Amino acid sequence: MRAAVALALAAIVLVLIPLALTSYQLGLLTKMLIFALFAMSLNLILGYAGLPSLGHAAYFGMGAYTVGLLALRVTGNFWTNFGAGIVAAAVVAALFGLLALRTHGSYLLMITLALAQVLWGIAFGWRSFTGGDDGLPGIPRPSAGLPLSLADGVRFYYFVLVVTAVATAALWVVVQSPFGRALVGIRESERRMEVLGYDTWRYKYVAFVIAGVLAGVAGNLFVYFNGFVSPAYLSIVFSATALIMVILGGAGTVLGPALGSAVIIFLENVISAYTERWLLVLGSIYVAVTLFAPDGLLGLARRLVARATTQRSQVEERPA
């Protein structure tokens, strides 16, 4: 009940907030929403099924490049491009999943990274098609095929908000379903689930593809947001950013990664204004989170509160 009220309040705030923000701040919030979706998609396999990946940017970037290339070279139609971006991400996830899910643990991390790097290599090397290192600039916000042009920042924000909300709801349904419960079972003990008669590979594979599709949606949104796509979208830095957002917000909770996204994007923005050493700070955040907040910010807060209350109760007990 309390959760429902909090969610309703958050929804109201997100719907009304464009009235109170400058266009720059609204852009920042839009970016937070897009990365929230990206991180939530990774969380489905990492937080629920226990499958770490260092290559989640592959599907994000694949969606982004597909939309970007089609919009610049073929058609401006929103529906075909957005659909094609999702299909491309799904195909890549279906292919990579076949190879990656044969392995566990450290191998899974290395292989997801190496597979994503294949796409990065193509985007980087195939200059005549992808623009190479310079990327593809000048991708317009969607308008053709839609009743309203989304070129305007506020409209685009609402568009991203709706897409993210729908995707979040879909994720919530997946996680609450018997399928989602089975994923948690696999995370806790894959052997036991096998003994119970679950075809665990198929569960992991379907989750992997769903996560890839949603990452692709986030990539589609981001290419429209930035109007630009470059090999960085496929890079390990993007993949690892999604990872740290998930861990920071709390793996295995539907909305935790959204919190992680908000914190990281906010910090990036504030810190980049003062210094060029954002990557140094980001690296330190990785180190600090693994050392001090391995269960995320909420876990850290819970532990600090618990410690404070036990100390207080000890102090209260002592005089007696």
**Interface contacts to other proteins, rule CB under 8 A:** 46, 52, 54, 99, 102-103, 105-107, 109-111, 113-115, 117-118, 121-122, 125-128, 236-237, 240, 243-244, 247, 277, 279-280, 282-287, 289-291, 294
Q: How far is the CB of 59 from other proteins (least distance, A)?
A: 17
DSSP-derived letter for residue 137 is E
Q: How far is the CB of 276 from other proteins (least distance, A)?
A: 8
Report the residue number, 125 or 137, with the smaller CB distance to other proteins: 125
Report the residue number, 244 or 262, with the smaller CB distance to other proteins: 244
Report the residue number, 164 or 204, with the smaller CB distance to other proteins: 204
Q: How far is the CB of 272 from other proteins (least distance, A)?
A: 13
Helix H or strand E encompassing 229: strand 228-229
With contact defined as beta carbons under 8 Å apart, do 263 and 249 qualify? yes
**Residue type at 38?**
F
State the residue for tokens 């919009």: 71
Report the residue number, 39 or 71, with the smaller CB distance to other proteins: 39
Q: How far is the CB of 50 from other proteins (least distance, A)?
A: 9
Length of the chain, please? 320
With contact defined as beta carbons under 8 Å apart, do 220 and 85 qualify? yes
**Residue type at 272?**
S
Report the residue number, 266 or 286, with the smaller CB distance to other proteins: 286
Q: How far is the CB of 159 from other proteins (least distance, A)?
A: 33
Q: How far is the CB of 204 from other proteins (least distance, A)?
A: 14
Report the residue number, 46 or 93, with the smaller CB distance to other proteins: 46
Q: How far is the CB of 134 from other proteins (least distance, A)?
A: 15
Token duo for residue 293: 């907040």
Token duo for residue 16: 């009304």
DSSP-derived letter for residue 55 is -
Radius of gyration of the chain from its Cα atoms, rounded to whole angstroms: 21
Exposed, middle or buried, 262 (CB in 10 Å: 0-12/13-18/19+)?
buried
Report the residue number, 142 or 249, with the smaller CB distance to other proteins: 249
Of 38, 95, 94, nearest to 61 (Cα)? 38
Collect all residues with Cβ–Cβ distance below 8 Å to 298 and sequence separation of at least 6: 249, 250, 253, 256, 259
